[in-house]
Structure 1
Amino acid sequence: MIAETGHYALVLALALAILQSILPLWGARVRDVALMRLASPLAVAQFGFVGLAFAALTHAYLTSDFSVLNVVENSHSLKPLIYKFSGVWGNHEGSLLLWVLILVLFGALVAVFGRNLPARLKADVLAVQAMISTAFLLFVLITSNPFERVVPAPMEGQDLNPLLQDPGLAIHPPLLYIGYVGFSMAFSFAVAALIEGKVDAAWARWVRPWTLTAWLFLTLGIAMGSYWAYYELGWGGFWFWDPVENASLMPWLSGTALLHSAVVMEKREALKVWTVLLALLTFALSLLGTFLVRSGVLTSVHAFAVDPARGVAILIILTVFVGGSLALYALRAPVLKQGGIFAPVSREGALVVNNIFLTAATAAVFVGTLYPLALEAATGEKISVGPPFFNATFGPIMLPVLLVMPFGPLLAWKRGDAYRAAQGLMIAFGVAIVATALVAGFTLGGPWLAPIGIGLGLFAIVGAFAEVMERTKLFKAPFGDSFARAKGLPSSTWGGALAHAGLGVTLIGVVAATAWSSENVVALKPGESVDLSGFHVTFEGLEQRQGPNYASVVAKLTLREGGTVVAAVEPSRRIYQARKMDLAESGIATFGLSQFYAATAEARDDGATGLRLQYKPLVLLIWLGPALMALGGAFSLADRRLRVGAPRKAARPAPALQPAE
């Protein structure tokens, strides 16, 4: 009965979504306040019913209700509790329900916290958001019902895909979906503004918190997915330019451009048309990622193997919303007034350069990802576009972003002074040059571009705090005065510095782990040893272990430095009985920011075991960088000047009554 309750809750949520799509929008057109005010309670109620449906599906998983087909196909009674919970979204139907839940959650948040939004704009925004939820609720109910029953109910389930039975995969999808779906709010605000024919600085202020929230979570989601691939798939890589990885990177790049463009619009009322277009395209790229994952056109460890007919349905949704919004944009964009004029050398100019290169990087990833699919669809010819293409295009495009990034905050609005900004970056220049020379000296004979990459990363990190140093008069005023100034800085200033520094930290990690990693693929018998990067690695032997729903063979390795044991590493191979799948689990020992990485192959007939051993210097910086970026986003989101809706102007006080004479 609980499963039926969840199904009926989705039907009721669909009915509310249809009403929310029509009534407030019509009320805004005829200026009917009562109809416009319906948007908020409808949005909250819709969230309540979708939440009830999600809770019903969660209950089915936690109780191993094998009368529900979705639970049968993706769960097992012996599966650990955390994976019973994460199994709710470890499949097409459940993950799509989570997608819809987050979608209606954002609408409910606007309804509750958007009190300062103009009534017409709020009604339009919530109506557009409801149109999106209507489409996806229909998709769930018609093609992807998570509550479908199976009769007779089997005694046991088929278990969750072993690749997904990992703590990282319990966290990664919700973070990623909040990012993907969060950009729907920027889309809804953009469409609402186009309907109203009015885009101004207040609109940019209203849209920024939602865009920043989505960007923050998408950053964390991509980083979590990257780390999961690194330790779970057994090859030690952190990014493979997989099409589904690219599908998450594209809206991140576009969303980053949108954030910077919205700042220009808020401060100077410039780039209006471009900012609205970016809001539309960023969510379009999020929908594209949804299509790629669920259409069946890709073979990937990240993709859901689903019926291509479902992909056609998502393609229709993509076409309707993206095509419709772009048509509205083409109709309305010419009437949007452009804002202030600015010189090429200015903070606005730096942000425009940032936008140009971020957009170009997005286009490069887009072409490299979709061209093979388009070519195969048109001619039947299959080609592979892999890391060489992306490394040769994406890297050079992002290089100017890293170079220009520290200059922007030091330039004045409208007209800046490039020489003065360069003076403010003298410390960053000095650190970069010295670091490049030192690294080149210590790694003589290694990759010649690697020292330059380290120097560029340090330039980005130190340069990110140049504005803070300038505004606090660090080294120019007494420390107490500088500290007091630092405490008084807006949190968005610290947020921008942390986010920019995070990009430099990631660059250093990528360069170090790529250029100076060492690897040895060997076959060892118990008692045999091998040396790698100063470690003496001894294979102690194999050990059989039993997990809750798998059996594992663990390879026990001992690491020594100078004869002293410094770590024990235990890579393994797990056999999941229900799915009859053999899965490698890497073993990792961490030394500061560096890691020793080991993965096993199957044992050979001669008693030897295949081992892939790697040492990756500074590899943890790759994921520390996104953590800093997300922390910077959180600081910016906490800025007291950034509200969910611009503050209303205070009413003038009534004149005081004069006493009678």
Structure 2
Amino acid sequence: MIPELGQFSLILGLCLALLLSVVPMVGAYNGNQLWVDYARPLSKGVFAFLSFSLLCLGWAFLSNDFSVVYVANGSNTNLPWYFKISAIWGGHEGSLLLWVWIQAVWTLAVALKSKTLPHDIVGRVLGVMGMITVGFLLFILFTSNPFDRFLPGFPAEGADLNPLLQDFGLIVHPPTLYMGYVGLSVAFSFAIAALLSGRLDAAWARWSRPWTTVAWAFLTIGIALGSWWAYYELGWGGWWFWDPVENASLLPWLVATALIHSLAVSEKRGVFKSWTVLLAIAAFSLSLLGTFLVRSGVLTSVHAFATDPQRGMFILGMLIVVIGGSLLLYALRAGSVKSDSSFGLLSRESLLLVNNVLLTVACAMVLIGTLYPLVMDALNLGKISVGPPYFNALFVPLMSIMAVFLGIATVSRWKHTSVSMLVSQLWLSAVAAVVAGLVTLWLYGGVLEWWAGLALVLAYWILFTGMRDIYNRVRHRRNLWQGMRQQSRSFYGMILAHIGVAIMIVGVAMVTVFEEQTDMRMAPGDRMTFRDYTFIFDGTREVQGPNYISDMGRVRVLYQGEPYTEMFPEKRLYTARGMVMTQVALQPGLFRDLYIALGEQLEPESGAWAVRLQYKPFVRWIWLGAIFMTVGGVLAAADPRYRRQARRDAEMAKV
């Protein structure tokens, strides 16, 4: 009965979403305020019904209702309760339900937090978000229903959740990533609403900017969580594999990064408005493209959800409608948009435009590398593979150039900046960055590795130019502390995000250049000296888990001859599926990780195993940088001036 209630709730949610997508839009077009005002209660209704549906699916998992096909395929009576909850989005159908529920969350948030905006704009924004909800609900109900039953009989036991997904990463990574993916629909909806109303002005950019920044922050931390999960779960020790599904999340992030900077220029200077709208359309379109890649069956990946071409055709159709319709509207309306001001060749506007172009080119490069093998295969031109050499050869130089311009843009001025001013502002930062980068590299590694040296110089460059910007803002204040307190949250959010970029650059470069790895045979009593650490293998013992049997190794670690820690890598057999999984042992640290993975048992009689030992310097700085960027984004979005200015805009609109 509970699953039927969940499905019925989905149908009711679809009905309200249809009303939401039509009534406020028609009201805004006809100037009917009553119809426009229906947008908020309809948004609340959609959220309520989809929340109830999600709870019904959760109840089916927790109560081991294996008459539900989705539950039988993705759960088991021995599965721990917290994995039963995360199993809701551990497969295709449930993850789509989570997606559309998060869409309802964002729709409700816009409805509740936009009371100071003009009613017609809010009606159009919520109407567009309702249309997106309708598309995904139709997809769920016709192709991916999570409440389908086994009738008349059903299995007595479930097949269990994929062992790869029985991890804390499943609990936090998909919801966070989806909050970013789906959050880009808000920026898209504001852009479409602005095109429909013809109000592509600074106020529109100001309304859209905090929502876009929050979505970008969620997407940033979501991608970082996925990288961290793959690092310790897959047993390879890598943090980014240029997997097509990984690329599917990187593509909208690159465009969203360009978008939040372009929105800043549109808000402050009244330029780039057409370009900003195009970026908003592209960011959400790429999130839909990522959904198509993951769920269409065109990719084979450990991250992919579905292999049903019919489902892929549905999403492809929706992708064509969204992209085609929005670009048609853009072509009809964007030509009439005029910039409110001009700027010189050397100005903050120009430098931000250069960074926008670099991010867009990087996105195009990743997109081509991801789709080219699929196109070749579809046209029967042969199977090819585009791997890390292609992406690293193009992506790394583009991001290095972008880091240089990032530092220059930080201290530049709006409208016009003289060369002499830039030189006076930047020469000390440039010299200090080169010296600090090379000295740091020499002190750490004792060698001058070219790529690592360049990365450290760029990281210091970003850090020192950010410090210079802070100094410029407070140097004329009588009280330094008071001057720093007077700076806006968005300014400090920008500084934190840029520091995060610098930290991530250090992590990527240092772990790439200085990581060490060895694969060896180890029997009980064997030892291996690696860096300043000695690893002593004491053998394995059998451990019984809730739904697996594990061979758990014990490795004692000595640091410079003294006892340091113990590590316990595992080889797990998940009994329900008969799958063997590697559970790595990690000894994390701020400046290095020790990483041990058990391979295959080589000699049962002697207890010898294949063991992989890895030393990974600064790898955690990659995710630390992402945390800084996320906090910076949230801090910028929380700037109260957006709310104050929104009230002023509403008052001006009434006048």
Asked if TM exceeds 0.5, the reply is yes
Which residue is equivalent to 2:391? 390
Residue 52 (str. 1) matches residue 52 (str. 2)? yes
Letter in 2 for 1:451: G
Percentage identity across paired residues of the two chains = 45
Distance 1:274 1:530 in 2: 57
Distance 1:358 1:651 in 2: 37
Which residue is equivalent to 2:220? 219
Which residue is equivalent to 2:581? 583
Which residue is equivalent to 1:556? 554
After TM superposition, the structure 1 = structure 2 runs for residues 127-206 of structure 1, keeping only pairs within 5 Å, are 127-151=127-151, 152-206=153-207
Distance 2:88 2:369 in 1: 33
Contact 2:292 2:312 in 1 (8 A): yes
Which residue is equivalent to 2:101? 101
Which residue is equivalent to 1:455? 457
Per the normalisation by structure 2, the TM-score is 0.96
Shift in CA distance, 427/162, structure 1 to aligned 2, threshold 3 Å = farther
SS across alignment from 2:379: helix
SS across alignment from 2:64: coil
Distance 2:109 2:644 in 1: 10
Distance 1:247 1:135 in 2: 20
After TM superposition, the structure 1 = structure 2 runs for residues 3-14 of structure 1, keeping only pairs within 5 Å, are 3-14=3-14
Which residue is equivalent to 2:420? 419
Which residue is equivalent to 1:296? 297
After TM superposition, the structure 1 = structure 2 runs for residues 40-79 of structure 1, keeping only pairs within 5 Å, are 40-79=40-79
CA shift for structure 1 position 439:
4.1
Moved more, 47-56 or 425-434: 425-434
Distance 1:398 1:272 in 2: 25
Residue 646 (str. 1) matches residue 642 (str. 2)? no
Contact 1:209 1:643 in 2 (8 A): no
Shift in CA distance, 136/649, structure 1 to aligned 2, threshold 3 Å = closer
What is the count of residue pairs matched by the alignment?
648
Which residue is equivalent to 1:657? none
Which residue is equivalent to 2:512? 514
Residue 537 (str. 1) matches residue 539 (str. 2)? no
Contact 1:271 1:339 in 2 (8 A): no
Which residue is equivalent to 1:658? none
Per the normalisation by structure 1, the TM-score is 0.96
Letter in 1 for 2:260: L
Distance 1:58 1:567 in 2: 40
Moved more, 572-581 or 61-70: 61-70
Moved more, 462-471 or 206-215: 462-471
Structure 1: unaligned runs, 5 residues or longer: 653-661
CA shift for structure 1 position 545:
0.6
CA shift for structure 1 position 113:
1.3
Which residue is equivalent to 2:634? 634
Residue 360 (str. 1) matches residue 358 (str. 2)? no
Distance 1:122 1:408 in 2: 34
CA shift for structure 1 position 189:
1.0
Contact 2:515 2:614 in 1 (8 A): yes
Distance 1:422 1:79 in 2: 62
CA shift for structure 1 position 498:
0.5
Contact 1:461 1:505 in 2 (8 A): no
Distance 1:88 1:436 in 2: 47
Contact 1:462 1:501 in 2 (8 A): no
Distance 2:597 2:447 in 1: 29
Moved more, 517-526 or 104-113: 104-113
Contact 1:58 1:85 in 2 (8 A): yes
After TM superposition, the structure 1 = structure 2 runs for residues 86-97 of structure 1, keeping only pairs within 5 Å, are 86-97=86-97
Contact 1:64 1:77 in 2 (8 A): yes
Distance 2:293 2:650 in 1: 49
Structure 2: unaligned runs, 5 residues or longer: none
Residue 491 (str. 1) matches residue 489 (str. 2)? yes
SS across alignment from 1:603: strand
Distance 1:487 1:520 in 2: 51
Which residue is equivalent to 2:466? 464
Distance 2:45 2:622 in 1: 41
Distance 2:441 2:363 in 1: 32
Letter in 2 for 1:141: L
Contact 1:117 1:645 in 2 (8 A): no
Letter in 2 for 1:392: A
CA shift for structure 1 position 510:
0.7
Contact 1:510 1:622 in 2 (8 A): yes
Which residue is equivalent to 1:593? 591
CA shift for structure 1 position 367:
0.5
Moved more, 190-199 or 504-513: 190-199
CA shift for structure 1 position 78:
1.0
Which residue is equivalent to 2:282? 281
Q: Deviations over 1:483-517 (max 9, x none)?
A: 11111110111100010110110010011111011
Q: Deviations over 1:586-644 (max 9, x none)?
A: 10112333111111101112532001101011111011000000010111011111239
CA shift for structure 1 position 418:
3.9
Distance 1:647 1:74 in 2: 48
Letter in 1 for 2:14: L
Distance 2:556 2:293 in 1: 43
SS across alignment from 1:77: coil
Letter in 1 for 2:344: A
Contact 2:442 2:448 in 1 (8 A): no
CA shift for structure 1 position 422:
3.9
Distance 2:128 2:113 in 1: 17
Distance 2:301 2:4 in 1: 33
CA RMSD of aligned residues (A): 1.6
Shift in CA distance, 166/645, structure 1 to aligned 2, threshold 3 Å = farther
After TM superposition, the structure 1 = structure 2 runs for residues 306-455 of structure 1, keeping only pairs within 5 Å, are 306-442=307-443, 443-445=445-447, 447-455=449-457
Contact 1:502 1:629 in 2 (8 A): yes
CA shift for structure 1 position 445:
4.9
Shift in CA distance, 239/371, structure 1 to aligned 2, threshold 3 Å = same
Residue 229 (str. 1) matches residue 230 (str. 2)? yes
Distance 2:340 2:650 in 1: 26
Distance 1:289 1:337 in 2: 33
